């Protein structure tokens, strides 16, 4: 019999600029000229630790002027024409918002002669002119706030109605744009507010002209770079390229496509997204950039979420994030409408990847079996003897069929994180963006098992585990990724019983991975923030009691964990730490990249497969795992 002797404690509900910074400063903000004397002033956000920076130009439509990251020790500018404000023809790139309209505005039932000429539309019986991409990018914005704290460097710029804007748009409004640089990633959040003095509902669509330079890495053939996105439909344009003709066709970039193999000289409006829309641009030398987007409300029907144009010959690709349709103000379709006093938010996130593997010494026997992923998590050894795991960046669950060979097991996963399986081999997933626990049935259909607790939406499901009897346990930390306020302001561990009832097991600081012991009598949960493992007693019906600390002071934030058949506990932290059933550290297995999760696999279950950032590793261990299938 395994004993878990525990200490009882109460549970509690990248331009490298010359900066005068102390070694403790991680984030800072400076004011600079874009490219020397006579060029616009930019506000530069610095992430010193990650070697990243983002420059914002309030006077130039509040646009993102530069985004630099450090990869493999070398600084890379990701944006096309970054900080370049020289006069000249052609597409400028960078990142201005397109608001309150995108595309030309022309009378319904007609086809414009220009692909993006100025047009008109009507509000309350009066005609107003509207530039093709709206007027916001042509007006100066003002800075209304900035901060550099342990949570990141951020600046907010704002555009408000004026006499100049009312020529085009007869509404009182504010548009706030907040740029947040954190851990090398850049979050851009737009908040559109219709003033309470407006007499009529305020219509608008939104997009961003952000364009990325090709290639990312010097020496790469830009035609060999790939574009990936999870849309399923292309909305077709008129023969002149001006506006949409009302038709659509299936179009998928889900497996990634070489830039040299498709033509986006006339922009490709992509729609039909079944999961959080993303676009992934990858340089074959190992650098990629993921752009994902979310909104505080959705629209019915097909709307454009990425409008892709450019290509290798142009020197840029613009996977323009959209929310709306062309000519929406005249079509009275494909746009948002705010009542007086209402607000709406739209956010996109830039996530670079391709950092050099952490220079860490690997333990003997550690072997890399697959790599080149975005961010891997949730490993499960399947009933048919294969490894399943999440690639959160591509919103997929993959099946490892051979070393360095995978196939898609589940697509459009809503950024599934942790996974588990039951005795029937059905796959359970904690969907980060879906904010739910789901199960993949044998026929491939997806069943939602839990998305509410006491009528409130879950926050950010992270990991899930299933007992032999079908009792489900999952963690739900808080998140700052959501646009709407969290319904629950705490992080929790939950029990979903076989009848569908959800019960709160405990509140924690940041619950993460969780697992069951082989005898089914204990639930173990990692708290990453407190660097602890908690354990709970389980009764015959799966209910929990007597929560207490089993392991404290873990080296690195604990993430996923598993228990071997003999009771030893394997924890993904700085490496994979192995503890005795009593909570004593036995040894640490080192990996080239920091582990996120692990599972036992192979026929004898004496190999641990480890998901570590961008790669899958394996190593033989003396302890055998256990399987709920047996």
β-pair type (206-208, 376-381): unpaired
Angle made by CA atoms 31, 32, 37, in degrees to the nearest 5: 145
Asked if pLDDT for residue 457 goes beyond 90, the answer is yes
The predicted-structure confidence for 538-556, as pLDDT tens digits, reads as follows 999 999 999 999 999 999 9
Asked if pLDDT for residue 180 goes beyond 50, the answer is yes
The continuous run of DSSP H or E covering 577 comes out as strand 576-579
Distance in angstroms (rounded) separating the CA atoms of residues 2 and 582: 9
The predicted-structure confidence for 278-313, as pLDDT tens digits, reads as follows 999 999 998 999 999 999 998 888 999 999 999 999
Contact 523, 538 (CB under 8 A): yes
Distance in angstroms (rounded) separating the CA atoms of residues 8 and 532: 13
23 pLDDT band (50/70/90 cuts)? Answer: very low
Kindly compute the dihedral angle of the four CA atoms of residues 14, 19, 20, 23, in this order, to the nearest 10 degrees. 20
Distance in angstroms (rounded) separating the CA atoms of residues 615 and 377: 10
Backbone phi and psi for residue 210, each to the nearest 5 degrees, phi listed first: -70, 135
Asked if pLDDT for residue 241 goes beyond 80, the answer is no
Contact 363, 386 (CB under 8 A): no
- pLDDT of res. 9: 32
- pLDDT of res. 589: 98
Q: Which residue has the tokens 């030309």?
A: 104
- pLDDT of res. 162: 96
Cβ count near 538 (within 10 Å): 22
- pLDDT of res. 359: 60
Between these two residues, 483 and 421, which has the higher pLDDT value? 421
Contact 92, 81 (CB under 8 A): yes
Contact 601, 608 (CB under 8 A): yes
Q: Which residue has the tokens 């593997």?
A: 357
**Cα end-to-end distance, the chain, whole Å:** 19
Backbone phi and psi for residue 331, each to the nearest 5 degrees, phi listed first: -75, -15
The continuous run of DSSP H or E covering 164 comes out as helix 163-166
Q: Which residue has the tokens 């071997």?
A: 564
Closest among 428, 449, 415 to 380, alpha carbons compared? 428
482 pLDDT band (50/70/90 cuts)? Answer: confident
Please report, for residues 26, 113, 290, 483, the alpha-carbon distance to residue 153 in angstroms, rounded to integers and kept in the order given.
Answer: 9, 45, 20, 19
Q: Where are the alpha helices (H) located in 161-206, listed in sequence order? A: 163-166
- pLDDT of res. 358: 57
Contact 573, 553 (CB under 8 A): no
618 pLDDT band (50/70/90 cuts)? Answer: very high
Contact 536, 553 (CB under 8 A): no
Q: Which residue has the tokens 């370049």?
A: 84
Asked if pLDDT for residue 629 goes beyond 90, the answer is no
- pLDDT of res. 458: 97
The predicted-structure confidence for 187-234, as pLDDT tens digits, reads as follows 999 999 999 999 999 999 999 999 999 999 999 999 999 999 999 999
Contacts of 18 (CB under 8 A, 6+ apart): none
Closest among 153, 141, 118, 196 to 29, alpha carbons compared? 153
- pLDDT of res. 116: 82
Asked if pLDDT for residue 1 goes beyond 50, the answer is no
Q: What DSSP character marks residue 571?
A: E
Two tokens at 379? 């490993």
Name the CA radius of gyration of the chain, rounded: 26
630 pLDDT band (50/70/90 cuts)? Answer: low
Two tokens at 23? 């070694």
Percent of the chain scoring above 90 in pLDDT: 81
- pLDDT of res. 390: 98
Average pLDDT score over the chain = 92
The continuous run of DSSP H or E covering 329 comes out as helix 328-331
Distance in angstroms (rounded) separating the CA atoms of residues 98 and 493: 42
Asked if pLDDT for residue 492 goes beyond 80, the answer is yes
470 pLDDT band (50/70/90 cuts)? Answer: very high
Cβ count near 125 (within 10 Å): 5
Between these two residues, 147 and 9, which has the higher pLDDT value? 147
User: What domains sit in the chain, N to C, each tagged with a CATH number?
Assistant: 27-85+93-353 (2.70.98.10), 386-577 (2.120.10.30)
Prior bond of 78 cis (ω within 30°): no
Distance in angstroms (rounded) separating the CA atoms of residues 317 and 309: 6
Asked if pLDDT for residue 357 goes beyond 80, the answer is no
Q: Which residues of 31-50 are buried (b: 16+ CB within 10 A; e: fewer)?
A: eeebbeeebbbbbbbbbbeb
- pLDDT of res. 112: 77
- pLDDT of res. 372: 84
Kindly compute the dihedral angle of the four CA atoms of residues 45, 51, 52, 56, in this order, to the nearest 10 degrees. 30
Two tokens at 79? 């944006």
Distance in angstroms (rounded) separating the CA atoms of residues 177 and 173: 13
Contacts of 328 (CB under 8 A, 6+ apart): 101, 102, 103, 203, 205, 334, 335
């Amino acid at each position: 019999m395994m004993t878990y002797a525990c200490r009882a404690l109460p549970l509690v509900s990248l331009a490298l600029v010359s900066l005068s910074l102390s070694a403790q400063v991680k984030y800072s903000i400076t004011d600079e000229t874009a490219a020397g004397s006579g060029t616009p002033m930019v506000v530069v956000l610095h992430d010193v630790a990650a070697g990243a920076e983002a420059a914002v130009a309030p006077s130039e439509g509040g646009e993102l002027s530069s985004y630099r990251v450090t990869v493999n020790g070398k600084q890379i500018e990701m944006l096309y024409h970054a900080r370049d404000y020289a006069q000249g023809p052609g597409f400028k790139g960078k990142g201005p918002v397109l608001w309150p309209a995108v595309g030309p505005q022309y009378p319904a039932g007609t086809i414009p002669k220009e692909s993006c000429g100025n047009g008109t539309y009507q509000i309350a019986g009066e005609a107003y002119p509207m530039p093709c991409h709206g007027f916001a990018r042509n007006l100066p914005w003002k800075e209304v706030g900035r901060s550099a704290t342990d949570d990141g460097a951020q600046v907010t710029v704002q555009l408000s109605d004026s006499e100049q804007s009312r020529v085009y748009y007869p509404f009182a409004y504010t548009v706030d744009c907040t740029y947040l640089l954190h851990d090398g990633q850049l979050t851009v959040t737009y908040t559109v507010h219709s003033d309470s003095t407006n007499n009529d509902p305020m219509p608008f669509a939104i997009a961003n002209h952000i364009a990325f330079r090709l290639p990312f890495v010097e020496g790469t053939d830009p035609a060999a770079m790939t574009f990936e996105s999870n849309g399923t439909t292309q909305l077709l344009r008129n023969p002149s390229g001006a506006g949409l003709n009302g038709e659509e066709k299936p179009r998928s970039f889900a497996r990634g496509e070489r830039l040299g193999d498709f033509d986006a000289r006339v922009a490709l409006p992509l729609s039909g997204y079944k999961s959080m829309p993303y676009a992934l641009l990858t340089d074959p030398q190992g650098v990629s950039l993921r752009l994902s987007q979310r909104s505080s409300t959705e629209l019915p029907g097909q709307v454009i979420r990425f409008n892709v144009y450019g290509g290798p010959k142009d020197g840029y690709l613009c996977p323009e994030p959209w929310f709306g349709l062309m000519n929406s103000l005249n079509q009275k379709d494909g746009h948002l409408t705010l009542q007086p006093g209402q607000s709406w938010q739209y956010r996109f996130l830039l996530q670079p990847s391709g950092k050099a593997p952490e220079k860490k010494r690997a333990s003997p026997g550690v072997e890399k079996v697959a790599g080149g992923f975005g961010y891997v998590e949730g490993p499960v050894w399947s009933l048919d003897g294969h490894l399943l795991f999440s690639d959160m960046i591509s919103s997929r669950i993959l099946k490892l069929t051979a070393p360095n060979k995978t196939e898609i097991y589940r697509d459009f996963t809503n950024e599934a994180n942790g996974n588990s399986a039951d005795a029937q081999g059905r796959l359970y997933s904690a969907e980060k963006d879906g904010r739910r626990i789901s199960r993949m049935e044998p026929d491939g259909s997806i069943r939602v098992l839990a998305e509410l607790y006491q009528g409130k939406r879950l926050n950010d499901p992270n990991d899930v585990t299933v007992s032999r009897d079908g009792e489900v346990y999952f963690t739900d930390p808080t998140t700052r990724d959501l646009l709407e306020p969290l319904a629950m302001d705490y992080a929790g561990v939950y029990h979903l019983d076989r009848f569908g009832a959800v019960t709160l097991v405990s509140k924690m600081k940041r619950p993460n991975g969780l697992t069951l012991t082989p005898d089914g009598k204990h639930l173990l949960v990692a708290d990453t923030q407190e660097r602890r493992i908690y354990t709970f007693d389980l009764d015959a019906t799966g209910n929990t009691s007597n929560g207490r600390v089993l392991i404290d002071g873990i080296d690195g934030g604990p993430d996923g964990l598993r228990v071997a058949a003999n009771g030893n506990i394997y924890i993904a932290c700085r490496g994979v730490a192995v503890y005795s059933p009593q909570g004593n550290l036995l040894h640490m297995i080192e990996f080239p990249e920091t582990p996120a999760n692990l599972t036992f696999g192979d026929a004898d279950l004496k190999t641990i497969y480890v998901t570590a950032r961008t790669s899958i590793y394996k190593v033989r261990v003396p302890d055998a795992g256990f399987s709920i299938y047996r």
